[in-house]
Amino acid sequence: MLKDSHFELSGLPTMVGSMPHTDPHKACSLVAKFLPEIPAWPQLPKRSFAENMYAQCSDGFPGVAIEGDNIYVNRSEGLDQQLEQFYTSYLNRELNQYAISREYAAGLHAFLEMDWSASLAVKGQVTGPITWGLVVTDENRRPIIYDDALADAVAKHINMKAIWMQERLRPLSPTSIIFLDEPYMASIGSAFVSISREQITRLLNDAFSGIDCMKGVHCCGNTDWSMLLATSIDILNFDAYNYGYTIALYPEEVKAFLERGGVLAWGIVGRDEDNLNNETVSSLIDRLIEGMSNLEKKGVPFRRISTQCLITPSCGLGTVSVEAAEWALELLANVSKEYRKRYIKG
C-alpha cells in the first residue's frame, strides 16, 4: 500500500463501477464532474451483454463460450490443451492476451483517452474470482469454481486482467486502485454455496498477486467480513446503507486492518430509487456516523475510522434509471464534501 495514501483520500468519493448509460463519453463526463479526485471508469451493462460484469472478464479464458446471455466453459473440446496454453501465457506474463477490448468495455477505453492528471487516484475494477467462478458454469451447469483446476485458472485469469488494467491506468494519475467486485461473497455460508474459507482467501490473494497499486474488494451484501479483512487488500468496500451494522461484528479484525493502513469504503448512498428520492446529505451523514460509532463503541478508535475511509454508492448503479444514477452521484459528491468539512481537519 502507498504510504499515508489513506490520509490523502480520507472521505473522498468514488464509485463501484457500473452506470446505466449507453454513451461512454457521457458516462465519463459525469464521472469527471462528480468524482474528479478519484474517478472510476464506467461499466455500461445496458450498452451490450458484452459489458455485463461476467462477460466483460471472459475473453481469453480456456474453453469459454457465450451464447446469447449464457456464459459457460465447454470442457468437451480440447480443454487440456487450452489450459496448457493459458498457463504458458500466464507464466510468461503475456498481458496483451488478457486485454479488455473496447467491445467489452467502451467506458474503460473512453476513460483511458481522457486527461486525469489532476486526480489523486484513478480506479478500475474487474469481477472477482469467487463471483466469476460461481456464475460461470461448465456445459453441465456446474459452477467452475468447484473444479480445482478451473478454479485455479479463474484466479490467474482474473489476475492477468487486473494487471493489464493496472498498467493501462498507471500513466493517468499518481495513484491507481484496482478493485475485485465480489457480490457473490454474500452467498458464502449459505446452503447454495460450499466453498471453504481457505479456498476463498487463496483465490483472492492469487487474483491480487503482482498488483502493486492499491487493492480493494467490493461486496454489496452481508458476508463474513473477517475473511476479506484477512486477505492482502488495502480497501474494503461494503454496503453501509443496508448493512452498516455488520462491520461492527468484527471489531478486532477491523482494528487490525486499520492499524496496518487499511481503508474502509462506506457504501452509504443506496441505489433503491424510492430511498434515493427520500435521502438528503444530512440523513446520509447521520447514517454514516451511526455506522462508524458502532465500531467506536467496540473499541476501534474513531479517528482511524473517520480518516481511513472513502465514501461510495452501496453498489453499482447500472440497474437504476439514468436520472437516479446521476442523482446518486450528485448526492455522493455532496455527502463527501460535507463529511470532509465536518470530520477531516487540515
Is 221 among the domain residues?
Answer: yes
The tally of domains found in the chain comes to: 1
Is 175 among the domain residues?
Answer: yes
Position 7 confidence tier, pLDDT thresholds 50, 70, 90: very low
pLDDT at residue number 152: 96
pLDDT at residue number 239: 97
All 3 cell numbers of residue 35? 468524482
Position 9 confidence tier, pLDDT thresholds 50, 70, 90: confident
pLDDT at residue number 191: 67
* 291-326 residues labelled b (16+ CB within 10 A) or e (exposed): bbebbbeeebeeebbbbbbbbbbbbbbbebebebbb
Percent residues over pLDDT 90 in the chain: 86
Position 127 confidence tier, pLDDT thresholds 50, 70, 90: very high
Helix (H, G, I), strand (E, B) or coil at 345: coil
281 — phi, psi (to 5°)?
A: -60, -45
Is 35 among the domain residues?
Answer: yes
Is 346 among the domain residues?
Answer: no
Position 1 confidence tier, pLDDT thresholds 50, 70, 90: very low
Rounded Cα distance, 292 and 310, in Å: 12
Q: How many CA atoms lie within 13 A of 308 on its CB side?
A: 23
pLDDT(190) > 80: no
pLDDT(51) > 90: yes
Range(s) of the domain holding residue 37? 24-262
Mean pLDDT along residues 117-126:
96
pLDDT at residue number 101: 96
Position 108 confidence tier, pLDDT thresholds 50, 70, 90: very high
Each residue's pLDDT tens digit, 62-102: 999 998 888 999 987 779 999 999 999 999 999 999 999 99
pLDDT at residue number 346: 52
Range in 9-13, 150-154, 326-330 with the lowest mean pLDDT: 9-13
CA dihedral 27, 31, 33, 36 (to 10 degrees): -160
Backbone region of residue 189 per phi and psi (left: phi > 0; alpha: psi in -120 to 50; beta: other values): left
Is 313 among the domain residues?
Answer: no
Rounded Cα distance, 78 and 299, in Å: 56
Mean pLDDT along residues 296-314:
96
Mean pLDDT along residues 301-314:
96
Mean pLDDT along residues 279-306:
96
Is 19 among the domain residues?
Answer: no
- Return mean pLDDT, the chain: 93
Q: What is the pTM of this model?
A: 0.95
pLDDT at residue number 189: 74
pLDDT at residue number 2: 43
331 DSSP assignment? H
Is 317 among the domain residues?
Answer: no
Position 194 confidence tier, pLDDT thresholds 50, 70, 90: confident
